[in-house]
Structure 1
Amino acid sequence: MIELSLIGIGTGNPDHLTRQAMRALNAADLILIPRKGASKADLAELRRAIVAEVVTNPATRIAEFDLPVRDESVADYRQRVDDWHDAIAAVWAQTIADHLGAAGRVALLVWGDPSLYDSTLRIAARLHPAPRLEVVPGITSIQALTAAHAIPLNEINGPVMVTTGRRLRDEGFPPGTDTCVVMLDGECSFRHLSPEGLHIWWAGFAGMPEQITDHGPLAEAGPRIIETRAQARADHGWIMDIYLLRRA
């Protein structure tokens, strides 16, 4: 049967790989590398660089595939995502069959950690027959963010809400908490909040050589972050960023 290892690689910095991740990569017969188009070619190149640096097993093969594009014309968001995940699972299955057949060890490098705001586990559940699954935890973007700013994630005895830009925009600052971490926000959704009493800590490319950070009262730091983010996206063609909001 197929054994599938989902390996957390942090933010793409080889220093973020655990020894467990290195062992899993070297145990793989096949490593899958997705391509996301020319504008995000750096993402595939980062995966290639990690493999080149840590994989010493000469029997390990690499197979690249083009990641399906999500159909934004589908009105229902959940259906749009489900259809996209089905398409990705189909490409995984075909790529594995073409390069490995029906048995062997497959590894897939996952940004951050496979369990936190990542759909790789949900996509893997769509494979038939179901593979034997191994999850190798990785450093999350939340850890990279708090480390970059040298701040604790939570206040003493305080809860933390992890949410998305979409929900922050539509629902506002989550009630019942003074600390909110926002992921998957391509629109700087903090713009829709009243800035009074809010402090923001932001990082783009957290934990990577290109890392950029800013922080301060939201009213002051927010406009700077919007400008910095737009410039970084233009320079690189893509950006991965994350931020923490806290009430004073």
Structure 2
Amino acid sequence: MKQIFVIGIGAGDPDQLTLQAVRAIGRTEVFFLLDKGEEKADLVALREEILRQHAVRPHRVVVARDPERDRDRTTPGYANAVDDWRRRRADIYERLIAGELPDDGCGAFLVWGDPALYDSTLGILEEVHGRGSAAFEWTVVPGVSSVSSLAAKHRTGLNQVGRPVQITTGRRLADGGLPDGVDDVVVMLDAHQTFGRFTGQGLEIYWGAYLGTPDEILLSGPLDDALALRISDVRARARARKGWIMDTYLLRRGVPT
């Protein structure tokens, strides 16, 4: 039967690959990459560099165009747009697995960070498998997430002693605010810099963009208006320069002693 690896490759630094990931890459015959357009060509280039270093057996790289999607989470019908995008992505995965991988072959998808955290690959593969048109088994290889990388780069922990940490999205943070009883909140997928709503509340912020890559940017400190504006400005200039941005941040409030 066809075998598929879903390999977490870290937040961008090739040195973040685990030994398990290196072994899985070494077993793979066909790598499936999704092209997100010229603006994000360096994302494909980073994957190709990982393969150059670790793909030790003869292999092929099959590139397909990633379907466009509405990324504005504030628009009506956003959930339906995401469902439609996932179906179209499933169609692509189904075609790749059925048409590009021999019956006893081994293929792989290289996933940024960890496949279990805010990534659609596992859910889409489950949908494709459920369709029954392409028989395959799949194995998930965990990776270093941007959350772990963020904490390491700032030399801090994700939680304070004996306290919980919550991972959420910018949209959820904007809708619900800081959760009660949680003093450390990691925020991902925040295109609108929601942290700016929480200045003057005694919070600290640890922010990072392009984590693990040569373009990495790190900023941290007490979250006042000046720092919020600085992060927004740095973020906007970086996005204008590269055409895309991936950033993550940790909001922290002190625990009363």
Q: Structures share a fold, TM > 0.5?
A: yes
Deviation at 1:180, TM superposition (A): 0.3
- Does residue 39 (structure 1) correspond to residue 39 (structure 2)? The answer is yes
Alpha-carbon distance in structure 1 between the residues aligned to 2:13 and 2:220: 23
- Does residue 207 (structure 1) correspond to residue 212 (structure 2)? The answer is yes
Alpha-carbon distance in structure 1 between the residues aligned to 2:70 and 2:244: 19
Determine the structure 2 residue equivalent to 1:177. Answer: 182
For structure 1, the 5+ residue unaligned runs are none
Alpha-carbon distance in structure 2 between the residues aligned to 1:163 and 1:234: 25
Determine the structure 1 residue equivalent to 2:79. Answer: 78
Q: Aligned runs of 1:140-219 on 2, under 5 Å?
A: 140-219=145-224
Determine the structure 2 residue equivalent to 1:15. Answer: 15
Tell me the TM-score normalized by structure 2: 0.91
Q: Aligned runs of 1:108-147 on 2, under 5 Å?
A: 108-127=109-128, 128-129=131-132, 131-147=136-152
Deviates more, 1:91-100 or 1:224-233: 91-100
**Runs (4+) off by over 3 Å:** 71-75
Alpha-carbon distance in structure 2 between the residues aligned to 1:189 and 1:71: 19
Task: State the one-letter code of the partner of 1:93.
Answer: E
Alpha-carbon distance in structure 1 between the residues aligned to 2:26 and 2:216: 28
Determine the structure 1 residue equivalent to 2:2. Answer: 2
Tell me the TM-score normalized by structure 1: 0.94
Going from structure 1 to structure 2, the CA distance change for 1:184 and 1:26 (only over 3 Å counts) comes to same
Determine the structure 2 residue equivalent to 1:96. Answer: 97
Q: Aligned runs of 1:43-58 on 2, under 5 Å?
A: 43-58=43-58
Question: Secondary structure at 2:140's aligned position in 1?
Answer: strand
- Does residue 68 (structure 1) correspond to residue 74 (structure 2)? The answer is no
Alpha-carbon distance in structure 1 between the residues aligned to 2:190 and 2:68: 18
Question: Secondary structure at 1:44's aligned position in 2?
Answer: helix
Alpha-carbon distance in structure 1 between the residues aligned to 2:223 and 2:99: 51
**Alignment length, in residue pairs?**
247
Alpha-carbon distance in structure 2 between the residues aligned to 1:63 and 1:188: 35
Question: Secondary structure at 1:125's aligned position in 2?
Answer: helix
Task: State the one-letter code of the partner of 2:77.
Answer: D
Deviation at 1:83, TM superposition (A): 1.4
1:59-113 Cα deviation digits (max 9, x unpaired)? x211000001125698433222121111111101112233224442110000000
Over the matched positions of the two proteins, sequence identity in percent amounts to 44
Going from structure 1 to structure 2, the CA distance change for 1:174 and 1:44 (only over 3 Å counts) comes to same
1:31-82 Cα deviation digits (max 9, x unpaired)? 0011001111111111111111211102x21100000112569843322212
- Does residue 224 (structure 1) correspond to residue 230 (structure 2)? The answer is yes
Deviation at 1:187, TM superposition (A): 1.4
Alpha-carbon distance in structure 2 between the residues aligned to 1:72 and 1:214: 25
Is the 1:26–1:55 Cα contact (8 Å) retained in structure 2? yes
For structure 2, the 5+ residue unaligned runs are none
